[in-house]
Structure 1
Amino acid sequence: MTKATALFLTEGELADRMGVKLDLLKTALPGLAKSGFPAPDPLFGGRRYWPACEAFLAQALQFELTLRQIDVIGRWEKTDEPLAGGIVDRGQRWRDGLGWSHLDANGILLKETSKVEGVTAEHDTMQYPFLREIIDMFPPEKRFGPMIKSEATGLPYRYRHFSKVWRDIANEAGVPAHVWNRDSRAGGVTEGSDAGANLEHLRHHANHKNIATTARYNRQTLEKTQTVAKLRVAHRGAQNGQGTGE
């Protein structure tokens, strides 16, 4: 069995670390690889870099659901009340990040956004096959606490650490230096626009502050974000088909 601190993992070790069956992981890997899942590193015996695999879920959530980075990985703030509950480390409390409790059994994600009080992000993750493929690899018993955690600490990422991990992965993948992780959200919105999504629906999908004065979102918001999701996935499929000459 691999050490809990090992950074480069075989497929079997990766499955064990994630808590999924190896057969399930092997079935999912070809599709995930096409979407940028960390590739085996020949310098490390064909093993995959674990921190990159963790960051992959954060990237998928930001791009597919057009969530702000802070609404996915959260942030650490100084606290004078370390015993008041929550996740506390070295005098700081974690807040605003995405937890498994925000995702219900039907795949509906509900989370109050950090930037605008009273605005709730509402998304049907079932509409995004790529994202669901990643989420479904995590068994129910692993779905507790923060969704995105650092392997080095077992705690949610601090911003600088996450940024470094993401940048190292981006460099390896050939992503230009001027492209930041925070651009993921804008990229998702742009894809929706290219796919022909209604601007009002896109605003709901991205939870922009200029829709903060609209009525409290319930089924209406979910229907709009589902529409954007369907258009984006269909557009993506069409573009991929053109790229392969199909």
Structure 2
Amino acid sequence: MTKTPISRSAPTPRARDSSKFVNSRKSRLEPTKPGLAQRLTAQLDEHRDNILQQTENTLKETETRQRDAVDALQAQFSEKLQLLANVESKVTINLFDEKVKVRVKADKVDSDDKQKKYREQEVLIRDRARAFEDFVQVKNDELCDHLAEWNDVQQKMIILAVKIFGLENIHINSKHVRPELSSVLAQANAVHFQNMQFRQDEESNITELEHAIKALSKETNKSINEIYKDFEQERNRRSELAKRAQALADEML
């Protein structure tokens, strides 16, 4: 009779499913490697297109508002300025100290009549000119803010691309790169190499784990086969003993 080795443990559900785990692990790892860069590129392109479209729409709206405001002011002043030009030789005071009547919106109007929504007001041309200059300055400041925001978005997009793909895989015109941006790109490139090293280490650990699982699975299968073989031998031996006992009993009878 062959004794079962005490040092060998019985198979567990985890050991029995080890081969399935290895195969499923491979199926999850291998297809994702070539598609990762493509998905990241598509997401980056989609984000860039959205930012470009939003910025373009904002700039167009700002330009339209400025153009409409300038046209409205020109329309308001054109008639009055023409009258002043016709009598320029007769005017004895400074043009900018002259008062003109302009239409302004009424404070409170309950009627739907468009004529009642506006009222005439005497103002100094000097004040109107100053108000126009202030208006233009405000619009210029808004435009500068939008451009600064767009530059910040572009910088973030470039930094993100460098972190994902590496500085050596992206063409950037050095003429348009500010000194402070160069240092930021260098830091982003260092992050890219750190991520690549981390990924390689993780892949190496996964490979080692797969080899260990394969070895454990092989050893477990070998142990199972030996145990089953011993079991078959023991069963056959007992069956033979039972037959002999039955035959001996029959002879005694």
Q: Per the shorter chain, which TM-score range?
A: under 0.3
Relative to the length of structure 2, the TM-score reads 0.21
Pair member with larger Rg: 2
Higher percent of residues as helix: 2
Q: Which fold has the larger relative contact order, with Cα–Cα distance below 8 Å and residues 6 or more apart in sequence?
A: 2
Higher percent of residues as strand: 1
